[in-house]
Amino acid sequence: MSQKSSIHFEISERKVLLRIFDIISVLGVLYLVGIVFDFDYFIIKKERWFWSIVLALYLTIFATIFELYDLQKASKFEIVVQNIILASSVTVLVYLLTPFVAPVLPANRLQIVYFYISINVALFLWRYAYIFLISAPRFHKRILLIANRKKVEGIITSLHKSDPNYKVNGFINVGKNKDELNFYNIEEYSLDNIEKIIEEQGISEIVIAASQSDNVTVLLYNKLIGLLEQGVSIREYTQVYEEITHRVPVQHVDKDFYRYFPFSRSNQNKLYLFFHRILDLLFSVIGLVFGLVIFPIILLGNLFGNRGPLFYTQMRVGKNGRHFRIYKLRSMVKDAEKHGAQFADKKDVRVTNFGRFLRRSRFDEIPQFINVIKGDMSVIGPRPERPVFVKELSEKIPFYEVRHLVKPGVTGWAQVNHKYGVGEDDALEKLQYDLYYIKKRSIFLDISIVIKTLSTIIFFRGQ
């Protein structure tokens, strides 16, 4: 079978592409400016190679913090413009203020303006090219889905939401009820024509989302084996879902628990756990010192905007199901739960005006660094939940208790990726992120969470 050539970029490839060409475009424009204009502040030459490395490092760090490598946002030019200005401004400021590793400040201050404009122009031109070339439909990854018709819409929605370049072109139904109508605006194909479909549609990959209860026939197996021998990529849905969304799809996991959760060796790696604890203590000290610096502002805000106790404590569930008392700055009215425990809503009327600022800035969580020092929590991990909610959610959501295999955290993978929501569906999505963290836990994922947390604080997205 002669398959149409289909060029596409995986998520990891696009992120690497963005990082590499950000650096290449910036250094390239600065090199051209140095040749064409009277610009000698930043000169790219063999004797000054260290300047370029430092600039590339700063650019990568601040571009990450200001979400220039978030693929959802990287394909929207109006968001990219805002993030480029923020990232380039901070990059230039830090670069100018770091002596020894950067050039000496020029006598002619216009040189700094040229430097700043050059970086912005380089990023604008490259990102514009990325949006209209790499993010264009011609580079979409075309998928053929094999699934029960009832599950198709939910599967496609979750995949498209996480990666706009992931295009499901159609599906083959393996549900037992073949006569059920297709209410979705998605093309349904017959298994008999699968080779022709792959060739005509330029299918890059077949994704199988069939469960044990679905009608997976010997004919289907033989067809797939034949396609595999012809070089067609075939993958299982939970693997694809996890790769694209960075979540573990617990709603599609059967009772075969360890097939889906081969947890990270870092959970038992004593060296990793030792450095993790050292970083916990370091970040906690920094966090508490910062809290002392802004304490007068918090005290005044609480006096006029909260009118009541500054701190409050609450029982939470920690590692191995052990209960502990968490410390927080009070953000709700006094007696907020006089009618019993309830989840906080996004527009909860119990939250005070100043409390809303504390939540969105995440300053209300500063006292939790005391819990980290005591060993009840870590800086990074699943958010600790209240015992009453843990009991309720454990009865409704499979594998919910698994999140208690590690210490709860002040911040975590769910906090930096999940938008605010309330209820069982929200708890399920957060659990998916928590399980992904437990499964993939590493120093690199921890660093990513810290950087994303800084983005959350900067963009005022706290909950």
Whose structure tokens read 């694809």?
240
List of residues 6+ apart from 200 with CB closer than 8 A: 4
**Which region among 29-43, 232-246, 249-263, 407-421 has the lowest average model confidence (pLDDT)?**
249-263
Instruction: Indicate the pLDDT class of residue 88, thresholds 50, 70 and 90.
Output: very high
**Which region among 71-80, 250-259, 376-385 has the lowest average model confidence (pLDDT)?**
250-259
**Contact of 313 with 325, CB cutoff 8 Å:** yes
Local structure of 247: helix, strand or coil: coil
**Which region among 21-30, 101-110, 217-226, 230-239 has the lowest average model confidence (pLDDT)?**
101-110
325: left (phi over 0), alpha (psi -120 to 50) or beta: beta
**What is the reported pTM?**
0.78
**Contact of 402 with 435, CB cutoff 8 Å:** yes
Tokens of 156: 């496609």
Question: What value does the mean pLDDT take over residues 281-286?
Answer: 95
Instruction: Indicate the pLDDT class of residue 99, thresholds 50, 70 and 90.
Output: confident
What local confidence, expressed as pLDDT, does residue 258 receive?
56
Tokens of 103: 């050039």
**Contact of 244 with 166, CB cutoff 8 Å:** yes
Start and end residues for every CATH 3.40.50.11060 domain found in the chain: 140-245
**DSSP states of 180-225:** ----SSS-B--GGGHHHHHHHHT--EEEEE--TTS---HHHHHHHH
**Which residue, 283, 452, 291, is CA-closest to 379?**
283
Local structure of 235: helix, strand or coil: strand
pLDDT at 5 > cutoff 80: no
| DSSP H stretches of helix in 130-205 | 149-162, 194-201
List of residues 6+ apart from 77 with CB closer than 8 A: 127, 128, 131
pLDDT at 65 > cutoff 80: yes
Instruction: Indicate the pLDDT class of residue 125, thresholds 50, 70 and 90.
Output: very high
Count of other CB atoms within 10 angstroms of residue 449: 22
CA distances from 271 to 277, 283, 320 (A): 10, 18, 21
pLDDT at 43 > cutoff 50: yes
| DSSP H stretches of helix in 317-440 | 353-361, 368-374, 387-396, 413-417, 424-440
pLDDT digits (tens, 9 = 90+) for 164-197: 777 888 888 887 666 555 555 778 888 888 888 8
In 117-178, DSSP assigns E strands to 141-147, 166-173
**Which region among 135-139, 221-225, 360-364 has the lowest average model confidence (pLDDT)?**
135-139
What local confidence, expressed as pLDDT, does residue 136 receive?
63
**Which residue, 405, 406, 430, 409, is CA-closest to 326?**
409
Question: What value does the mean pLDDT take over residues 26-49?
Answer: 83
Burial class of residue 360 (count of CB atoms within 10 Å of its CB; 0-12, 13-18, 19+): middle
**Contact of 263 with 438, CB cutoff 8 Å:** yes
Angle between the N-to-C axes of helices 11-36 and 49-65, in degrees from 0 to 180, rounded to the nearest 10:
130
**CA–CA distance, 207 with 245 (Å, rounded to integer):** 15
Mean pLDDT, the chain, rounded, equals: 84
What local confidence, expressed as pLDDT, does residue 309 receive?
87
What local confidence, expressed as pLDDT, does residue 134 receive?
75
Residue 73, CB-side half-sphere exposure with 13 Å CA sphere? 14
More confident residue, 376 or 6: 376
**CA–CA distance, 44 with 28 (Å, rounded to integer):** 9
Instruction: Indicate the pLDDT class of residue 58, thresholds 50, 70 and 90.
Output: very high
What local confidence, expressed as pLDDT, does residue 327 receive?
95
**Contact of 441 with 264, CB cutoff 8 Å:** yes
What local confidence, expressed as pLDDT, does residue 133 receive?
79
- Which listed CATH number (3.30.360.10, 3.40.50.11060, 3.10.310.70, 3.40.50.2000) goes with 140-245? 3.40.50.11060
**Contact of 324 with 316, CB cutoff 8 Å:** yes
List of residues 6+ apart from 22 with CB closer than 8 A: 59, 60, 63, 68, 123, 126
Q: Which value, in Å, is the radius of gyration of the alpha carbons in the chain? A: 26
**CA–CA distance, 17 with 253 (Å, rounded to integer):** 33
Whose structure tokens read 């601040």?
62
Residue 361, CB-side half-sphere exposure with 13 Å CA sphere? 14
% of the chain beyond a pLDDT of 70: 86
Instruction: Indicate the pLDDT class of residue 2, thresholds 50, 70 and 90.
Output: very low
**Which region among 263-267, 319-323, 338-342, 392-396 has the lowest average model confidence (pLDDT)?**
338-342
Q: What is the DSSP pairing of strand 311-317 with strand 323-329?
A: antiparallel
